[in-house]
Amino acid sequence: MKVIAACLVLVFAAVVQSAPSTRSSFKVKETIIPPRGWTRQGRAPGNSPIELRIALPQANFPLLEQHLYEVSDPFHERYGQHLTQDEVYDLIAPHDESIDMVDEWLGTYGLFEEHFNRSPGRDWVKVKVPISVAEEMLDTEYYVWTHTDGDSIVRTTTYSLPAHLHDHIELIQPTTLFSTLKGMRTTFRFDKDSQINVAANAPPINVPTASGGHVDASCNGTITITCLLELYNAVGYNASATSGNHIGITGYLEQFANEQDLQSFFADQRPQAVGSSFKTIFINGGENNQSLAEAGAEANLDTQFAFGLTFPTPATFFSTGGSPPFIPDILTPTDSNEPYTEWLDFILNDPNPPQTISTSYADDEQTVPVSFAQRVCAGFAQLGARGVSLTFSSGDGGVGDGDPDPASQECFSNDGTNRTMFIPLFPPSCPFVTAVGGTIFIPEVAVSFSGGGFSNVFTRPSFQQVAVTEFLKTLAPGTYAGLFNPNGRAIPDVAAQADLFKIFLGGEAGLIGGTSAAAPTFAGFISLLNDARLRAHLPPLGFLNPLLYAIGQLHPSGFNDITVGNNPGCGTEGFNATKGWDPVTGNGTPNFGVLKELVTGALAGAAR
């Protein structure tokens, strides 16, 4: 690999030397303060390859966003009339002038069409060069940075572009992106001994909204597929294998979904599914090691419950390779330490993506440059416009670090002031995805770790205005002043059970929790709703949030309102669950029976 890297440097050296030396024409494009926990080490090896992702402005994104809201508003005449892939590409295509000017700039470094890849919509260009060349192109210096948790990455805190290109290039990464995509952080507890004992002869729990008006008492100690179907009023609904419906789960960071564990889970909780499985799609060198010793708690949790709830709906597990840390002395040209963007590239280029996709990976919003967060969020908007519903776990740290003790809180800003602030997560803070918080027990209360709060990047979307304004009125004047942005996109949108889930891992049964349980659970019920719509010759639900908030305001029986509990963190008790929407459990947990009647009847839309 070192020989290959050395050759790359020799190839590009002459080109760089002949490139016009116009440093004076460069203007800073982006500068950041490195996030907490990162320490700069030495210069990055100049001969190490780096793949630059160059984002060109999406010329008609405001029009795409308009289409998105129209086809997602249950009261609009276009509801459900999702765009085709080609229609989306036409809307995000950059202006020809931008394409030409970027091509001309790359050409000055000897980079032509045969050297780079374009996205199908022509809004991204990817080109691999030695770091020394990238430094010349961006008038910057790359360093190796190490994190207190042991990760290492190569980044810069500032980069520049020729002034005439600023209107034609939205951003370039990897440069200032210090985010390290992680699974939900604190509440994975694979613990065979943590089961809450419930007397074998305990009577059923009365829950008026549940199937049959009650839930088995055992569900207060162990959550199973049966518990969720009972609690969320879905007993007796049988999905179709041939309706055209499809559900997907994303996997990253070498989280492998084990098929033997899945069969054990099915035998225990979904006997009719024994012998069925899922399709695995490998992206960017992803793998799915089937050794029981390599089974991933996150991957098993997500696939077992999402696919168990929706059987026999065709299911896909997306295994995306590439993960931090970057190891500078192992120069692997195909490696990527931004796996999330690799998945997004793939799914946007898929002509038939699953109608429902769940993700349980995120990072602190403040570690993601605003330009990058906005661009990734725009990618989610494209999927929503095409009829894809995206659910994300809202986080496992309450309003930040999950700690109510002021003496030990770790919620500090990354803007150099080190002020205390609540810490929302991204991508859940993107308004074009559905953020899922957590509950526990029956009757349900908010689970203490349920991530919630307000984005510091994205403003509050119109579909949230009524519900969130009503919540803010319930706060005493000055409550948490300065700790959160009351005008930001509010999180979460909805909730579901999030603890004491019985899964199989490495051949053994045990319990696990986290909003990473809530997201695939809610996604499972959305997939069942999509199945019902497709069987009624209706389009899939697509971008969910306008519909969810309309139901929350006009048909509140579609959700089980959670009014007990809070989500402590950052040295505070966090927010309280209240009547209506709140930043702990959103609009509440699903009542599938009511939602099914709404989305196939009163709110079915005009597109049949």
Mean pLDDT, consecutive 10-residue segments, the chain of 608 residues? Answer: 46 48 81 91 92 96 98 97 97 97 97 93 95 97 88 92 97 90 57 66 95 97 97 98 98 91 98 97 91 92 98 97 51 48 93 97 91 95 98 96 87 89 96 98 97 98 98 96 97 97 94 95 98 98 98 97 98 97 98 98 70
The active-site residue out of 30, 302, 396, 499 is 302
Q: Residue 205's beta-bridge partner residues?
A: 215
* Cβ proximity of 367 and 178 under 8 Å: yes
Give the integer Cα–Cα distance in Å for 176 and 182: 18
Angle at which helices 370-385 and 339-348 cross, to 10°: 30
Domain ranges of the chain: 2-58+94-178, 205-602
Q: Tell me, what's the pLDDT at 330?
A: 37
Give the pLDDT confidence score for residue 327 in this predicted structure: 45
- Count of H-run helices and E-run strands, the chain: 14, 28
Burial degree of 494 (CB within 10 A; 0-12, 13-18, 19+): buried
DSSP letter at 586?
B
Find, among 174, 100, 86, 177, the residue nearest to 131 by Cα: 174
Tokens read off for 47 = 């001969």
Rounded to 5 degrees, φ, ψ at 133 are -70, -40
Measure the CA–CA gap between 549 and 463, rounded to whole angstroms: 6
- Catalytic choice (319, 516, 527, 561): 516
A 10 A CB-CB count for 82 gives 24
Per DSSP, the three-state class of 534 is: helix
Choose which CATH entry (3.40.50.200, 3.40.109.10, 3.40.190.10, 3.40.50.1100) describes domain 205-602: 3.40.50.200
SS3 468: helix
- Give Cα 172 distance to the centre of its chain: 21
- Rounded CA separation 312/504 (Å): 20
Distance from C-alpha of 519 to C-alpha of 526, rounded to nearest angstrom: 11
Chain-centroid distance of CA 321 in Å reads 16
Whole-Å CA distances, 65 to 71, 92, 345, 380, 384: 10, 10, 19, 11, 10
Q: Which amino acid is at 71?
A: V
The predicted structure's pLDDT at residue 187: 41
What pLDDT, on a 0 to 100 scale, did the predictor assign at position 150?
A: 78
- The backbone torsions φ and ψ at residue 214, rounded to the nearest 5 degrees and listed phi first, read -155, 160
CA distance 353 to 313: 14
Residue 516 annotated as catalytic: yes
pLDDT score of 191: 56
Any catalytic annotation for residue 302? yes
**Buried b / exposed e across 379-402, counting CB within 10 Å, b at 16+?**
bbbbbbbbbbbbbbbbbbbbbbbb
- Cα atoms in the 13 Å half-sphere on the side-chain side of 378: 25
> Could you tell me which of 389, 591, 607, 385 has the C-alpha nearest to residue 496?
591
CB 334 within 8 A of CB 285: yes
Do residues 310 and 240 make contact, with C-beta atoms less than 8 angstroms apart? Answer: no
Active site residue 298: yes
Q: Tokens standing for 80?
A: 């459900």
Report residue 2 as tokens: 């070192």
* Beta-carbon contacts of residue 345 (< 8 Å; ≥ 6 apart): 119, 124
Cα(433)–Cα(435) distance, integer angstroms: 6
Phi-psi region of 142 (alpha: psi -120 to 50; beta: other; left: phi over 0): beta
| 3-state DSSP assignment of residue 587 | coil
What is the pLDDT at residue 489? 98
Cβ-contact 389, 544 below 8 angstroms: yes
Burial degree of 271 (CB within 10 A; 0-12, 13-18, 19+): exposed
Residue 32 is given by DSSP the state -
Strands (E), 254-326: 279-283, 315-320
**Which residue has 């209706």 as its token pair?**
538
Q: What's the confidence (pLDDT) of residue 21?
A: 45
Look at residue 194 in the predicted model and tell me its pLDDT. 55
Query: Cα–Cα distance between 254 and 587 in angstroms, integer?
Result: 33
Q: Which has the closest alpha carbon to 492: 541, 548, 453, 543?
A: 453
Ramachandran angles phi, psi of 333, nearest 5°: -60, -25
Structure tokens at 379: 């990618």
Which residue of the set 151, 298, 444, 582 is catalytic? Answer: 298
Taking residue 525's Cβ as centre, other Cβ atoms within 10 Å add up to: 28
The candidate with the shortest Cα–Cα distance to 353, out of 202, 530, 227, is 530
Tokens at residue 368, please? 């993601």
- CA-CA distance, 109 to 286, in Å (whole number)? 32
CA count, 13 A, side-chain hemisphere, 381: 24
| Cβ neighbours around 407 below 10 Å, total | 6
Tell me the three state secondary structure of residue 136: helix
